[in-house]
Amino acid sequence: MAEPPPDQQLPCAARVSIVLFALVPLSYLAYGTADPDPANPAIRASALPVVVLWCVGVCGYELAWRAGAVACAAHVCVAFHLGHGWSHERAWEHTREAGGFGDGIFVNYALVVVWLADAIRPARSGWRWWLVRGFVAFVMFNAAVVFGSWTARAVFVLVLCAGVALNRAPCSLHLPSDAQPHSGSP
């Protein structure tokens, strides 16, 4: 008999904790100010659950992957609320100043749409699985480099290395056999 997926091996309390952890970024919306500030520390703090859940999700925990998508959408809401006063123009300008390319904001929008879509209907085929995870990893890496402090960049690299190491470890953290990337149909 096949071993159940890692998510099903987790106790109920752990699964509830993962879901609640995804909602942590929303708590930062309460720290709004009258004057939006893209350097508000709550914006960076709201990104931490996204990175952690992304890392755990890539290691095969589908619930964490789905929770990471929700946390990512919440982080974007926090950034728009606290940093840009819900102004796309301000967000575009901040992206241009920070990364040199204002239209990069559309990549952030695409990230939220792609990740949430994959959370709703997870990729099971090889090419789609790799495409989605590769795109999310690419955006996460660039966000850490462009918007993160040196400390945030170092933490991101450590979390990324831990995720790779855990995904390669001979234990139950591997993807379940039915979720392994393959060339079959979804």
Tens digit of pLDDT per residue, the chain (186 long)?
A: 455 556 656 677 777 778 777 888 878 777 666 688 888 888 888 888 898 888 888 877 888 899 999 999 999 999 998 888 888 999 899 888 887 888 889 999 999 999 999 999 887 678 888 899 889 988 888 877 777 777 877 877 787 777 667 665 544 444 444 444 444 444
Question: What pLDDT is stored for residue 172 in this prediction?
Answer: 46
pLDDT for 99: 77
Q: What is the DSSP letter of 100?
A: S
Within 10 angstroms of residue 34's Cβ, the number of other Cβ atoms is 5
Two tokens, residue 112? 């939220």
Q: What is the dihedral sign for C-alpha 138, 140, 143, 144? A: negative
- Rounded CA-CA distance 63/53 in Å is 9
Cβ atoms of 124 and 67 closer than 8 Å = no
The CA R_g of the chain, rounded to the nearest whole Å, is 17
The structure tokens 């966000």 sit at 143
pTM above 0.85, yes or no: no
Going from the C-alpha of 103 to that of each of 132, 164, 186, the distances in angstroms are 21, 31, 33
184 is written with which tokens? 């079959």
Domain ranges of the chain: 10-179
Q: How far are the Cα atoms of 49, 72, 76, 94 from residue 97, in angstroms, in the given order? A: 25, 22, 18, 5
Q: Which of 119, 34, 104, 35 is nearest to 71 (CA)?
A: 119
Give the CA count within 13 Å in the CB-facing half-sphere of 55: 19
CB 19 within 8 A of CB 67: yes
